[in-house]
Amino acid sequence: MTIKRAEFDHMVQKLGLRTRQSGDLLAWFEHEGRVVARTRRSLKKGDLPMQHSIRQQLHLDEAELRRVVGCKLSRDDYIRILRDKGRL
């Protein structure tokens, strides 16, 4: 699955990830004051490099990532997935 910059940015908003600019756009998910997942996005245009790493860093499988990008997975669903995988 390919992820474009706009899709990544939408995913950041949808999941409520916090962000910060550095050489790349850094994004992380906090739950109850603890950082649970972190990833980054290149500032280059076009398809993002290392897309499989973004998926792994967010602790999602391919189908779950498709649901996030397709607007079918909410922040609460993401928390439930993390809880089921023992990340929370």
pLDDT (tens digit, 9 = 90+) per residue, 15-54? 999 999 988 899 999 999 999 999 998 887 777 777 789 8
Indicate the pTM of the whole model.
Answer: 0.85
Nearest to 37 by CA among 9, 65, 63, 18: 18
Residue 51 has what pLDDT?
A: 79
Name which residue leads in pLDDT, 3 or 33: 33
Residue 6 has what pLDDT?
A: 87
Helix pair 62-69, 5-15: axis angle to 10 deg: 90
Residue 71 has what pLDDT?
A: 84
Residue 2: partners with Cβ closer than 8 Å, 6 or more residues away: 47, 48, 51
Q: Helices (DSSP H) in the chain: which residue ranges?
A: 5-15, 51-57, 62-69, 75-84
